Amino acid sequence: MEKLAENIWIVNGDAVMFLGLPFTTRMTIVKLSNNDLWVHSPIKLSPALKTQVEVLGNVKYLIAPNHLHHLFLTEWIDAYPRAQVYGTDEVIKKRGDITFKASLNSPRNGPWSADIEQELFSGSPLMQECVFYHKSSETLVVADLVENFSGDDFNAWQRVVAKGVGILAPNGKMPIDWRLSFIFGKADACVHFEKIMAWQPKTLVMAHGEIVSDNVSEFLARSFKWLQ
């Protein structure tokens, strides 16, 4: 567990294979102003991790930001049955075995809005993702909206593939298949991107890849140049 700033931590998990690539995983934890914990994209829960988490506080919210980030939810629900689970419409439909408190597609902000703002990035029939901005640390938290792999876990051909689809650091961006699916939804995407840029984040944390902590606005502008 690594503390990024006051009241925000990241935990790097094991890689999972996806489309022939080992996707490193990362969870973000925020301690809210009422001391409850908000957990974004939960990773595999080990006894050691459970102990570390419980030192921080009470797990209140479990966040599945898109329909790909749900693999370890049931482990966390079993461990923290009082936690409230939130996900996008897509993941709620996909995981009929899980009881969700509410959808992240709702235009209303979540009960964590005093500390964390959110924006549903839509415009694609392939996937939508809810992204979050932790106000006090000025941190943007995403799952797959931007991927920025170092390539250290890739073999030679995997690095070639990652570079080809645009997810290799320092030039990470949304994977090409998702980008191409915005052919009729760029106008919507531009509105969401403008909201993200208006937050003026100082740190970008993603579930897959290297964290960006310098010149974040410039990085995002370059990463979303495809919207032009």
**pLDDT number for residue 56:** 97
Q: In the chain, how many domains are there?
A: 1
**pLDDT number for residue 94:** 95
**pLDDT number for residue 25:** 85
**pLDDT number for residue 19:** 59
Please state the pTM of the whole predicted model: 0.92
The pair of three-digit structure tokens given for residue 88, joined into one six-digit string: 């996008």
Domain of 65, CATH number, reads 3.60.15.10
The boundaries of the domain holding residue 123 are: 2-227
Report the C-alpha gap between 20 and 17 in whole angstroms.
6
Instruction: Of 4, 141, 2, give the one whose Cα is nearest residue 69.
Output: 141
Residue 78 contacts residue 47 (beta carbons within 8 Å): no
pLDDT block averages, 10 residues each, the chain of length 228: 96 73 85 97 95 96 94 95 97 96 89 97 93 98 90 74 80 90 94 97 94 96 93
**pLDDT number for residue 68:** 86
**pLDDT number for residue 219:** 96
Q: What are the backbone dihedrals phi and psi of residue 190, each rounded to the nearest 5 degrees, phi first?
A: -65, -40
